[in-house]
Structure 1
Amino acid sequence: MTEALGPLARTLSLPYYEDALPAHDQFHAKRVRDLGLRLAEECQRTVDRDVLSAAAWFHDIGRPRERTGEIDDHGEWAAVEAAAQLEAEGVATDQIEAIQHCLRSHSIRASSPEPATPEAELLFDADKLDASGATGIVRLACIVGERSGRTGEAYAAIDDASIHEVETTDRPDVSILRKWATERVAALYTEPGRRLGEERRRFMDDFFDRFEREIGAGADR
């Protein structure tokens, strides 16, 4: 192997993102890589930055297939696919296995294993932090839009239906963004991740308070 692991993983991963939607595209992968490395600088433990960087590039390569129903678990699929790609490039087995653990444990879904290494915890935190703050509001809104009106799912509404004097609805609305972001910030593993998560959570609280004022939640009745 002649190419550094991080840049190699970027090269190998980018074709998988060609059909990705905005919330899980190559730019999300880059933000997660950059944020993971930033958190690693503040981490008190030894971190293999090559493994972390490579895992960040690969972590969502299965999202386009999961979206279309070709696979059930994008993390597990990415672990197998990334291993095959990296083995062909002569990457060391221990590094591949470390990357695979990161990929399998990065999701918030209940079936995912717990992150058990600093690299896996940092990848998890960086991925969840990209769903918080200003970037997170945009990304989570994109996810709601992606799901809106799909087979078997209701179209989404912009307003928070709970604050209006209208009939109740089963449509997802903006309140789900706050719920998703809160869940992700609460799940963070690392101290630097939690510090940044708290800062971003406060910004989101301010945003949603402003949003409610704009749509009339605080108006006199």
Structure 2
Amino acid sequence: MLDVSPLPKVTRPLLRDEAYDRIRQAIIDGSLAPGTPLRDADLAEELGLSRAPVRQALLRLAGEGLVESKPQSYTRVAAIAGDEVRDAVQLVRALHEFAIRQALPRLGTEQVAAMRTANERFATAVGSGDVAAAIAADDELHDVPVRACGNRAVAATLERYTPLLRRLEYARFSSLPAHRSIRRHTELVDAIEAGDAETAAAVTSTIWSDLEASLETAETLETP
């Protein structure tokens, strides 16, 4: 008897996912600036796709707050600053604080070493001006306690709302405050290694409060 799976293997990404990934990255890294009109026909031509997966991608991005749309009027890249972004950074800060408190008893030598290594990569990336690598290293560092806390709802919520903050991070990690983040990371890992939950939570709060402060700067720049 032949062992035939009822589900064929996926040999390439779904077109709508590829359209989503490429448009999302262009919004996050600033290639598509806030306020840029997003016409599905133009985007489809640039991406070499049909309009259907581009429309689906734009709907998904609108749901995430990266695109704003008014029927029969406009579809455009959303502003960096806004109530939804402020809500997101406050929620993300609270969840990371919660994750640190829950995870700390489970963070041992291996996890501490992983966080220090991630911070070293972060420092190298900041020094060389590689913002994408800095963000990847920053994610790796903060993901350690998120994974260790074992709360899937926390991880899923962070995955949902963190993309809204990416443009702030791109701006922050390409500027002088990024060097302050290196020090904050070191303070965080030192507190974790010492088993000091209160200091670790306080440093985590400060890290995300610093990002919220950059939101206020963005709001000032975007206000006509």
Flag whether TM exceeds 0.5 (same fold): no
- Output the TM-score relative to the length of structure 2: 0.23
Please say which structure displays the higher CA radius of gyration. Answer: 2
Higher helix share: 2
- Output the TM-score relative to the length of structure 1: 0.24
